[in-house]
């Protein structure tokens, strides 16, 4: 039996709440489809660099995992995100701003 999936809006709201609880600033940069939109997380340490993560499906384990889409100068990461949004206009983009590079995507329940 397939595992039930949360709506994108519910997941984003829960993720933002978890970040707020950890005192990590985050913002919705692009509001995707509330029900089935994919989510991309951009982590910015506020030093001119950034990393973008997107959720994908690991065929070996059957689990949903976060993979790095792009990393490097923030302008290049922003360009990669813009290209991704060109392919998927329903994409959510969340920007996490933390000098310690925390994004919490490695915590249980965020896969």
H-run or E-run covering 92: strand 92-97
Q: What is the pLDDT of residues 30-72, one digit of tens each?
A: 999 999 889 999 999 999 999 999 988 777 777 778 999 999 9
Q: Kindly calculate the radius of gyration of the chain based on its CA atoms and give it in whole angstroms.
A: 14
* Structure-token pair, residue 67: 């993979």
108 has a pLDDT exceeding 60: yes
H-run or E-run covering 68: strand 64-73
Quick check: 70 and 83 in contact, CB under 8 A? no
Upper half-sphere CA count for residue 1 (Cβ side, 13 Å)? 1
* Structure-token pair, residue 2: 């397939």
């Amino acid at each position: 039996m397939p595992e039930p999936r949360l709506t994108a809006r519910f997941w984003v709201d829960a993720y933002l709440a978890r970040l707020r609880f950890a005192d990590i600033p985050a913002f919705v940069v692009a509001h995707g489809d509330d029900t089935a939109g994919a989510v991309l997380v951009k982590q910015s340490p506020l030093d001119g660099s950034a990393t973008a993560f997107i959720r994908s499906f690991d065929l070996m384990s059957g689990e949903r995992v976060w993979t790095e889409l792009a990393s490097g100068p923030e302008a290049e990461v922003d360009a990669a995100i813009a290209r991704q949004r060109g392919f998927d206009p329903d994409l959510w983009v969340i920007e996490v701003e933390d000098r310690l590079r925390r994004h919490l995507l490695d915590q249980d329940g965020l896969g």
